[in-house]
Chains A and B, each alone.
Chain A
Amino acid sequence: GESVGLHLPTLSVQEGDNSIINCAYSNSASDYFIWYKQESGKGPQFIIDIRSNMDKRQGQRVTVLLNKTVKHLSLQIAATQPGDSAVYFCAEKTSYDKVIFGPGTSLSVIP
């Protein structure tokens, strides 16, 4: 079936360090991948996306890497700040706008 999973449920990093959040997806036909950040009491907030014809995409302090061979997605956050503490979800789009979310990784930033 379709599923998107994350390797680690929790991640703690020191403020200023780089964070890497990993994700495995299962549907080879997925052509669009998205990372969301969800803070407590809020809805998911779009961070960055990547299409299946790309391997890497950079935003402000964030980079997403896509490895289609092993169906792996990662989110790198540079110089992690306390405001980055949240739950991060990877998601894949399989058809139309049906988006499948993984279970999430909770990132804690240690001051």
Chain B
Amino acid sequence: DAGVTQSPTHLIKTRGQQVTLRCSPKSGHDTVSWYQQALGQGPQFIFQYYEEEERQRGNFPDRFSGHQFPNYSSELNVNALLLGDSALYLCASSAGSGNQPQHFGDGTRLSIL
């Protein structure tokens, strides 16, 4: 049973560029959340997708956008990259709403030069 998978594992971009990160949820999960984790800090919630719609959003600018596909996989897009966007981007999946634990992938390490 495959867990949450993310691609790519590492990515290097320059300021002003755009990036797309991808996530496949754990089998049986239909809800995907994205987090940004800066070095030495806890993950910060970006947004959550359920039934192909953004259901919740954290305190992130509109440069951060996402999408969920009918097969529940998801993409995170970041436009006009800033140096401060360098971080580990984590995807987590869960089964529906309610008090269910989220399962995380190992993340995409994004470096902005």
Q: Give the residues in chain B near A43, CB-CB below 8 Å.
A: 4, 90, 92, 104-107
CB contacts under 8 Å to A, within B67-113, are 90, 92, 94, 97, 99-107
Is A101 close to B, CB under 8 A? yes
Smallest CB–CB gap between A70 and chain B, Å?
A: 21
How many A residues touch B, CB cutoff 8 Å? 26
Smallest CB–CB gap between B89 and chain A, Å?
A: 10
Question: Whole-angstrom distance between the alpha carbons of A91 and B102 in the complex?
Answer: 11
Contact with A along B31-43 (1 / 0, CB 8 A): 1010100000111
Is A51 close to B, CB under 8 A? yes
Is A93 close to B, CB under 8 A? yes
Q: How many A-B residue pairs have CB under 8 A?
A: 64
Q: Are B102 and A99 in touch, CB under 8 angstroms?
A: yes
Q: Give the residues in chain A near B100, CB-CB below 8 Å.
A: 97
Smallest CB–CB gap between B41 and chain A, Å?
A: 6
Is B8 close to A, CB under 8 A? no
Looking at B43, B48, B56, the one whose CB has the most chain A CB atoms below 10 A away is B43
Q: Give the residues in chain B near A51, CB-CB below 8 Å.
A: 99
Q: Are B45 and A41 in touch, CB under 8 angstroms?
A: no
Contact with B along A86-103 (1 / 0, CB 8 A): 000101010111111111
Beyond A36-B104, A97-B100, A99-B45, 7 extra complex contacts between A and B, CB < 8 Å = A43-B4, A44-B90, A46-B103, A97-B55, A98-B56, A98-B58, A101-B43
Contact residues of B with A, CB < 8 Å?
4, 31, 33, 35, 41-45, 48, 55-56, 58, 90, 92, 94, 97, 99-107
